[in-house]
Amino acid sequence: MPVSSRIPGFKDLSPLERRRTVADRTGLSASALDSLDPNTGLSVEQADHMVENVVGVLGIPVGIATNVIVNDNEYLVPMATEEPSVVAAASNASRMTRPHGGFFVSHTGPVMQAQIQLLDVQDPEAARLRILEAREEILELSNAEDPTLVKFGGGARDLTVRVLPTRTGVHVIAHIVVDVRDAMGANAVNTMAESVAPRLAAIAGGRPLLRILTNKADQRIVRARAVFDRDLLGGSEVVDNIVHASAFAEADPYRAATHNKGIMNGISAVVLATGNDTRAVEAGCHSHAVGADGRYTALSHFEKTADGNLSGTLEVPMAVGLVGGATKAHPVARTSIEILGVTSATELAEVIVAVGLAQNLGACRALSAEGIQQGHMRLHARTVAVTAGASADELDNVVQRLIGDRSIRVEHAEKILGDLRNGSLV
């Protein structure tokens, strides 16, 4: 864990200098970060063991968010994203929490649930109670499937049963509630679900169909809060405007979808950098955005504090692991975990949700002040220049001209490049 994640001027270094700085700050050896170099990162041979029909690997930029304090600990946070301005915004917003202690995060534990669907049950209500009477037997059967998890202090903890009316009749749905410790937990709970399904079906007097975890991980919740400094935000008017922006997202699903996308810009980037399952996390977060009234709404809230600063809160399910999936198999994922210095899946989940809140505030601040295009498009100009064919030597020149001309478009970049190359621009 770094002594401080505040590194002024980090953005002005070269990628190699940034790697050295991260190694220095975290106490890692310089070679520990070698996997971040495309020449020594994930090989095609390694990829061929991960998924099917492999023909190559895709490079995604990995940036480091600075300034992040979570529960009094400093973190340098690897973020894998193709989108310009995301890493800058997360760093910028995290900086604004530092005078107020950073992010304060709590969690409900690494608890996942498997669902077992039971069909053709004659007496669903009575079946529900018969299954609950067999709770201890079902939990024992489940735990027998994963002695490693039990050895690490995890395992099946509870059994719940729901009677679900559907368009194909009434189904009985059993949930096995499992503490999955440092795993994301899909394979662990799926194995348990498949093994106990025949017994559950026998008790219910029906037949089992689906046996799979739910990505609505509402027993694996992480809650983050932070105070963002009024003066660093740009003053009272910006604070008030962000509160209005937050109210808009709470009230309107069209705005909520974009607001939540801004949160996922941060969350998915850290989830991906650490080799975790972005789809599982995204499904969990968006399902959590639907309230008891069935309405899709904002996952975060911003309020003005008594002393005029801005309070931000975010609560989401966060199913990520330090073991299993690609977390250990992918060399960059292993390096990301080393840089973070987290020692449990829960600690990783806490940092991820803190970055989600930072990201959200970063976008809402820009939207509530100067607008998104100024900061985002300035950084997007580099992508536009490369798309137009600028070489490394030409890049800075083209980017400056795109920004100066206030026209960050590929055709304009192509025109600038043409003019530079034929000598009509110097």
Ligand X SMILES: NC(=O)C1=CN([C@@H]2O[C@H](COP(=O)(O)OP(=O)(O)OC[C@H]3O[C@@H](n4cnc5c(N)ncnc54)[C@H](OP(=O)(O)O)[C@@H]3O)[C@@H](O)[C@H]2O)C=CC1
Ligand Y SMILES: CC(C)(COP(=O)([O-])OP(=O)([O-])OC[C@H]1O[C@@H](n2cnc3c(N)ncnc32)[C@H](O)[C@@H]1OP(=O)([O-])[O-])[C@@H](O)C(=O)NCCC(=O)NCCSC(=O)C[C@@](C)(O)CC(=O)[O-]
Contacts to ligand Y by CB under 6 A: 8, 11, 66-67, 83, 85-89, 91-92, 95, 258-259, 261-262, 265, 362-364, 366-367, 372, 375-376, 379
Q: Does 215 bind ligand X (CB under 6 A)?
A: yes
d(CA 37, CA 330): 13
Nearest approach in angstroms of CB 374 to ligand Y is: 6
State the minimum distance, in angstroms, from the CB of residue 119 to ligand Y. Answer: 42
Cβ closest to ligand X, residue 102 vs residue 284: 284
DSSP structure string for 263-306:
HHHHHHHHHHHTT--HHHHHHHHHHHTB-TTS-B--SEEEEE-T
- Taking contact as CB under 6 A, which single stretch among the options 8-16, 187-195, 293-301, 368-376 is the one that binds ligand X? 187-195
Instruction: Supply the DSSP symbol for 181.
Output: T
Does 146 engage in binding with ligand X (CB under 6 A)? yes
From 99, 105, 86, 95, select the one nearest 5 (Cα to Cα): 95
Nearer to ligand Y, 111 or 242 (CB): 242
> Which residue of the set 34, 218, 261, 304 is catalytic?
261
Q: Which among 4-12, 32-40, 143-151, 248-256 is the span making contact with ligand X, rule CB under 6 A?
A: 143-151
Is-catalytic flag, 414? no
Rg of the chain's alpha carbons, rounded to an integer? Answer: 24
Distance of CA 401 to the CA centre of its chain: 35
User: How far apart are CB 8 and ligand Y at their closest, in Å?
Assistant: 4
Binding segment for ligand X (CB under 6 A), chosen from 297-305, 319-327, 402-410, 413-421, is 319-327
Regarding 187 and contact with ligand X (CB under 6 A), the answer is: yes
Q: Is 169 left (phi over 0), alpha (psi -120 to 50) or beta?
A: left
User: Could you say whether residue 317 binds ligand X (CB under 6 A)?
Assistant: no
Nearer to ligand Y, 184 or 352 (CB): 352
Tell me the C-alpha distance between 113 and 142, whole Å: 12
In the complex with ligand Y, the residue whose CB is nearer, 201 or 358, is: 358
Among 323, 372, 395, 410, binds ligand X (CB under 6 A): 323
Rounded to the nearest whole angstrom, what is the least distance from the CB of residue 227 to ligand Y in the complex? Answer: 18
Q: Which helix (H) or strand (E) holds 53?
A: none
Yes or no: say if 337 and 242 are a contact pair by the CB < 8 Å rule.
no
CB nearer ligand Y, residue 83 or residue 158: 83
Give whichever of 10 and 104 is closer to ligand Y, judged by the CB atom: 10
- Check if 171 is active-site: no
**Interaction residues for ligand X, span 94-133 (CB under 6 A):** none
In order of 363, 390, 398, 415, the CA distances from 381 in angstroms are: 18, 11, 9, 14
* 347 lies in the binding site for ligand X (CB under 6 A): no
Q: How many residues bind ligand X (CB under 6 A)?
A: 23
Q: Coil, helix or strand for 245?
A: helix
The residue whose Cβ lies closest to ligand Y is: 375
**Number of other CB atoms surrounding residue 321 within 10 Å:** 26
C-alpha–C-alpha distance, residues 65 and 356, integer Å: 12
Which helix (DSSP H) or strand (DSSP E) does residue 162 occupy? strand 155-166
The answer to whether residues 313 and 242 touch, using CB atoms and an 8 Å cutoff, is no
Pairing type for strands 155-166 and 73-80 reads unpaired
Q: Choose the contact partner of 323 out of ligand Y, ligand X, none; CB within 5 to 8 A by kind.
A: ligand X
User: What 3-state class would DSSP assign to 169?
Assistant: strand
Separation of alpha carbons 370 and 185, rounded Å = 43
Catalytic residue (choose from 74, 146, 182, 277): 277
Residue 181 binding ligand X, by CB under 6 A: yes
Q: Which is nearer to ligand Y, 86 or 173 (CB)?
A: 86
CB of 224 to ligand Y, least distance (A): 17
277 is catalytic: yes
- CA 117, CA 79: separation in Å to the nearest integer? 38
Decide which of ligand Y, ligand X, none touches 375; Cβ closer than 5 to 8 Å per partner kind: ligand Y
272: contact with ligand X by CB under 6 A: no
Q: Which does 83 bind (CB under 5 to 8 A by kind): ligand Y, ligand X, none?
A: ligand Y
User: Is 376 considered catalytic here?
Assistant: yes
Residue nearest to ligand X (CB): 324
Tokens 């950098």 found at: 273
CB closer to ligand X, 13 vs 54: 54
Interacting residues of 97 by C-beta distance below 8 A, sequence separation 6+ = 67, 69, 103, 226, 227, 228, 229, 358
What amino acid positions are annotated as catalytic residues? 83, 261, 277, 376
Chain residues binding ligand X by CB under 6 A are 146, 148-149, 152, 154, 180-188, 190, 213, 215, 277, 280, 321, 323-325
